[in-house]
Amino acid sequence: MPAGIVAWPLIMETIFSNPHSRLNPLTGEWLLVSPHRLKRPWQGKVEQTPPETRPTYDPKCYLCPGNERAGGARNPDYQGTFVFENDFAALLPDAPASQADANPLFAARRERGTCRVICFSPDHSLTLAQMSEDAIACVIDAWMEQFRELGALEHIRNVQIFENKGAIMGCSNPHPHGQIWATENIPTEPAKEDESQRRYFETHDGRALLDDYQDEELRRAERVVCRNDAWAALVPFWAKWPYETMLLPARPLADMNDFGPGDKTGLANILKRLTTRYDNLFRVSFPYTMGFHQAPVGGRAHPHWRIHAHFYPPLLRSAAIQKFMVGFEMLAMPQRDITPELAAETLRSLSEDHF
């Protein structure tokens, strides 16, 4: 090597061991990484670890089979997945049009939509990590059916499938369930991702941003947690939450309408393996917000889009220490201490047999 020339991996190792910023190409936003801060003592808030055991049926749970829900309706004695209209929906399908304000600083628009709840299982005690791959595949079947049905509605442009797991993520009921919100307009986060993917596609000879990104991540392998023939789970280079991960498909899938049998079974497998690793990290039912970003609906083709799922877990150093997005994070930019590479290495090293 010529004198004065430093190998590129050594340069990156030096950069990544000191404070630096990373760009999220999906949103155009920057993230501050501060690896040296892991050495500081912690005297902040400590979350109480929730109980690890629950009954298979809870007579007071408004999501268990046969029980009365908070809104007064009664659940059927369902045996698999169960989907119903949210009794306290944030969106309404018949919201009236809003009157435009003459001043653009006070812009508002109508937002029609539908909110649904999906119970993953009749068993109150389970989570995705504890369900079989076949049972998770049934949840994916329900997601696919709901995406197809809601996406076909004339006034809907975006279908957001997500799960809030754990009390510290705002989940008010521990019964295994998620939500689906279908909106008239494309929300902020998917809109940013749509613009970034479209711009990349147009300036890179028709290649998809997430295809190129995944190819490079698989080649480097340092942030890959686990993978199969259909999906890969990795810690994004720009991850802002301590153990944030992203699921990416091996095939060019824009949304769940493109799924084949292998895509569904592969997703069930990767969800089981990843969520089991999460639980094994601190030997606790690991909290997170998880959701799928998919191409906008409405009949148009979106060749620049790739479906993907984001996992945003809040735990940092243990089951009792939570990462907060406050101060600098709220006023300036997201910041993390543990590097994405170390987070991936930690998750990758964990067993896929649930503790």
Kindly list the catalytic residues.
177
Please calculate the CA angle 149-155-156 and round it to the nearest 5 degrees. Answer: 50
Q: How many CB atoms lie within 10 A of CB 313?
A: 23
Give the residue from 310, 304, 291, 311 showing the smallest Cα distance to 147. Answer: 291
Give the residue from 312, 291, 253 showing the smallest Cα distance to 160. Answer: 291
Angle of helix 261-282 relative to helix 340-348, nearest 10 degrees, comes to: 100
Give CA–CA dist 144/58, Å, rounded. 28
Give CA–CA dist 210/333, Å, rounded. 23
Q: According to DSSP H, which parts of the chain are helical? A: 8-16, 133-151, 188-203, 209-220, 261-282, 328-331, 340-348
Give CA–CA dist 256/141, Å, rounded. 10
Give CA–CA dist 173/180, Å, rounded. 16
Which pair of structure tokens corresponds to residue 96?
């009236």
Give CA–CA dist 297/159, Å, rounded. 8
Strands 308-312 and 245-249: antiparallel
